[in-house]
Amino acid sequence: MDFTGKRVIVTGAGKGIGRVIAEILTARGASVIALTRSAADVEALRKDLGCVAIQVDLADAEATRAAARAAIPADLLVNCAGTTELQPFLDTTVEAFDHLMAVNTRAPMIVAQEYARERIAAGKGGAIVNVSSVASFIGIPDHAAYCASKGGLDGLTRVMAKELAPKGIRVNAVNPTVTLTPMAVKAWSDPQKAAGMLNRIPVGRFAESSDVAEVVLFLLSDEAAMVNGLAMPVDGGFMIG
């Protein structure tokens, strides 16, 4: 897939899956506009990949909208930034719940609104991919806020797909299983818990960031012209039960 000349917004491009998406897009000719939080990552994205990198805390709605406005116009959008906090349901705090909903669900909505408004005003189509999780389909202990936030993101994706496709913008989600990034190390460092998950993945391994990135790029591409509104597992068969 060739992205020569395409401007692509990637949130959470500083680390993990988002960074790999930015690397592969750049290698295939795209100009990446990165929205991410840590100053060191902003610098690295500029230096290593030549990205336009905008520092923003996506938990802050106003700052998110301002960053999205600074990032447009763009041909394509990947909402990849996400965060997690491990808390048993009974101990899930309002603060953690609100934070995860703000970063994982509300920020993708805000960035997509700004991206899509500009595309529609310019009379151009586009594509959006929201990076969700298999956590939107199943209940994972200690992930109440995370599962809720990703379930919300899938719901948002379906509504966006219905409302924006008639205007030429396709919207899909990808739903990875455990993917070996810093975030996964935080969530899956307990070997017993990891084994329980791994045993249910028929391909016998967790995902690499590039496994997820390649599916994201396919959904962004014109080759996926008839794919819209999907929540697509990237899970080695985990969801077949």
Binding site for ligand NDP (CB under 6 A): 12, 14-18, 36-38, 41, 56-59, 80-83, 103, 131, 133, 176, 178-179, 181-184
Q: Which is nearer to ligand NDP, 64 or 228 (CB)?
A: 64
Q: Which tokens is 148 given?
A: 């809720």
Please give the Cα distance from 64 to 61 (Å, whole number). Answer: 5
Catalytic site residue from 115, 150, 162, 167: 150
Active site residue 167: no
Q: Which is nearer to ligand NDP, 121 or 240 (CB)?
A: 240
Catalytic site residue from 15, 124, 146, 167: 146
Active site residue 146: yes
Q: Which is nearer to ligand NDP, 120 or 239 (CB)?
A: 239
**Which residue numbers are catalytic?**
146, 150
